[in-house]
Chain A
Amino acid sequence: MNQVAKYLPILPVLLAYAILFALGHTVSGTWQLVATLLFYCALGQAFNIFLGMTGYVDFGYVAFMGMGTYGMALAITKLAHVPELGAVVIVIGFALALLMATLLSLAVGAVALRLRGAYFAIATIGVNEGFRFLIEGARIWNGAEGMIFTAQLNEILGTERASRLMTYWADVMVLVIAVLAAAVTLFYMRNRVGYALTALREDEDAAKVMGINVTKYKIIAFITSACFAGLVGAASWALKTPYVFPPEVFEIHYTVEAIIIVMLGGAGTLLGPLVGGLIYGISKYYLSIFLPGLQLLVFAPVIIVIIIMFPEGVVGMLRQRTRNTVLGRFIV
């Protein structure tokens, strides 16, 4: 496989996001839906780097999104009074989001990634709740009162630009993050990192025997995935809705949604999170319109059926069917 052909599967990903973006722009009234879909796709794409590629289930994943949200919130509230910075504050916010997500993932990973399978999953549930109560109890970053920074955002950007950021640019940033996460996924898949991760996902003992430093690669996947979660939190939560409350940004519900999206689309595949995000987002959006309050009741059996029919996810199934065909080269 030559260097260009290796990375061709990025094309369908780019195409799908381009169509989504164009749809939101041209058909009036669809931007809200598109924004929701982008959020779920980005969430899936980010989580897939860890869950999909290592096979480890992290139930505390949302905590990294929470870190990202706090990172952006802190940058905006602390730097709003420095007029020279202007919109650079947003860039600093993203950097801080990355840094905080990385630090938390290092701390969690160093301890939890020594555990395997179910033990890892159980350990991570605790991290999420524990961290939330630490912030509330120790009154870190305003504790349970949270932070509201609409005023500071207006001060930095001006009311008009700030409102444009919340309703439009924040979603575009989520789109960019989703594409970046997909690109990193493909890059990993096509390089030594990906081979190591595939080996350890399929059989961790065999991977060790082949001389793969499994802990190192698990931590790489964990940190990468956490960084993207931090960025998603910073863009989709902090910039779109300029406030942060601990119970909301540490809500385990989002982790569960991320797991569903990845499994539905196909864990460890490039297109899986995109497909999963679209299926999940569209179903959730329309179910809440047509069957308000009943969406979970309808959605749960649908997910069960899909998982039984395609245990490797929709894309996993498509990949099996198109193996050794021209189309198969793009379904990765």
Chain B
Amino acid sequence: MLNVKRIESGYGAMQVLWQPSIDVKQGTITSLLGPNGVGKSTLLHTIFGSIEPWGGEVYYDGENVTRVPTHKKVEMGIALVPEGKHLFPNMTVYENLSMGAYRKRALADKEESLELVYALFPRLKERTKQLAGSMSGGEQQMVTISRALMTRPKLIMLDEPSQGLAPKLVGEVFDTIQKMRDEIGLTILLIEQNSDASLEAADFVYVMHEGIIKAQGTPDQIKGSTEIREAYLGI
């Protein structure tokens, strides 16, 4: 569904991505592992277009979308849940979710999307009128993911969704991610530093280091390789 080919990008004069290539198959959870500062977020933002690619190509559903602007990518069904909670703290949960249905295509399906989101996160349905900023970290993460779902994506890219959450909540987030794959049929590209939980949930794993893909395989293959685990994942 998503094919990234020898992509390059960076900030200013500093190159961060040195031609990594990844493939994300439809209906799977693909996880991108690696420590801080190896270019995982940069890769997501380059795919999404919020960072301009210097070279290489991005294909989505077989179509070259390397230079397609971000708002058009959202329209095509690509969603990004950025790192940290980019919520509108002074808006209610409902208002935050409504903003997710901004594009006309998403607006047409708004009611249906709301039902889907409330089924996934029943807690949000009880709190539609609460200000998003007054919620706990875990709940805010739910709103952020839900808002991305409101854009009616086919592919959703999550940038460290478990960051800063209590261990119990980390489990919940990963359960939700698996539900999104199994019940909604979404394709998921996931960035994580939490290798254990990620290896549990993912169907396929890429290990990234210094802007290149160092290893790839099924979670079992990655877990089975002492070399990869020790060198790049620290587990």
The answer to whether B88 and A203 touch across the interface, beta carbons within 8 angstroms, is yes
Q: Select which of A196, A209, A211, A214 is within 8 A of B81 by beta carbon.
A: A209
Instruction: Indicate if the CB atoms of B88 and A210 lie closer than 8 Å.
Output: no
**Contact between B82 and A206, CB atoms less than 8 A apart:** yes
A332 to chain B, nearest CB (A): 15
Asked if A238 CB lies within 8 Å of chain B CBs, one says no
Is B86 a contact of A205 with CB atoms below 8 Å? yes
A213 CB–B CB distance under 8 Å: yes
Beta-carbon contact of B71 and A213 below 8 Å: yes
Q: Is B25 an interface residue (CB 8 A)?
A: no
Closest chain B CB from A41 CB (angstroms): 27
What is the size category of the interface that chain B forms with chain A? 20 to 34
Of B71, B79, B88, B148, most buried by chain A (CB within 10 Å of CB) is B71
The answer to whether B102 touches A192, judged by C-beta atoms less than 8 angstroms apart, is yes
Taking A195-B102, A199-B99, A212-B102 as contacts, is the C-beta distance between A206 and B88 under 8 angstroms?
A: yes
Given the complex of chains A and B, what is the CA–CA distance between A213 and B103 in angstroms? 10
| CB closest chain-A residue, reference B69 | A213
Q: Does B163 contact A (CB under 8 A)?
A: no
Q: Is the interface of A mostly helix, strand, loop or mixed?
A: helix
CA distance A68 to B71 in the complex (A): 34
Question: Which residues of the partner chain B approach A145 to less than 8 Å between Cβ atoms?
Answer: none
Closest-by-CB residue of A relative to B88 is A202
Are the CB atoms of B86 and A211 closer together than 8 Å?
no
Cβ contact within 8 Å between A209 and B99 = no
Question: Separation in Å of the B21 CB from the closest CB of chain A?
Answer: 24
Q: A212 — which chain B residues lie within 8 A by C-beta?
A: 71, 102
Q: In this assembly, does A208 line the interface, its C-beta being within 8 Å of a C-beta of chain B?
A: yes
Q: Which residues of B contact A206 (CB under 8 A)?
A: 82, 86-88
Q: How large is the interface on A (under 10, 10 to 19, 20 to 34, 35 or more residues)?
A: 10 to 19
Q: State the CA gap A212–B88 with chains docked (Å).
A: 15
Interface residues of B in 91-113 (CB under 8 A from A): 91, 99-100, 102-103, 106
Contacts between the two chains (Cβ within 8 Å), count: 54
B140 at the interface (CB under 8 A from A): no
The residues of B that contact A209 with a CB separation of less than 8 Å are 48, 70, 74, 79-82, 86, 148
Q: Is B88 within 8 A of A211, CB to CB?
A: no
A182 to B69, CA, bound (A): 33
Asked if B86 contacts A203 (CB within 8 A), the reply is yes
Cα-based distance from A209 to B103 in the complex (angstroms): 11
Residue ID in chain B nearest A213 by CB atoms:
B71
Residue of B nearest to A201 (CB): B88
Q: Mark B44-62, 1 if CB is under 8 A from A, else 0.
A: 0000101000000000000
Min CB–CB distance B80 → chain A (angstroms)? 5
Give the residue of B48, B91, B147 whose beta carbon is less than 8 angstroms from that of A210.
B147
A residues 155-181 with Cβ under 8 Å of B?
none
Instruction: State the CA gap A326–B59 with chains docked (Å).
Output: 53
Chain B residues within an 8 Å CB radius of A211: 70-71, 73-75, 102-103, 106, 151
Q: How far is the CA of A206 from the CA of B83 in the complex (A)?
A: 10
Query: Bound state CA distance, A198 and B74, in angstroms?
Result: 19
A-binding residues in B (CB < 8 A): 48, 50, 69-71, 73-75, 79-82, 86-88, 90-91, 99-100, 102-103, 106, 147-148, 151
| Sampled A-B contacts (7; CB under 8 Å) | A195-B99, A202-B91, A209-B74, A209-B79, A209-B81, A210-B151, A212-B102
**Top-5 shortest CB links A-B:** A211-B74, A206-B86, A213-B71, A211-B103, A211-B71
* Additional A-B contacts beyond A208-B70, A210-B151, A212-B71 (4; CB < 8 A): A192-B102, A195-B99, A209-B86, A211-B71
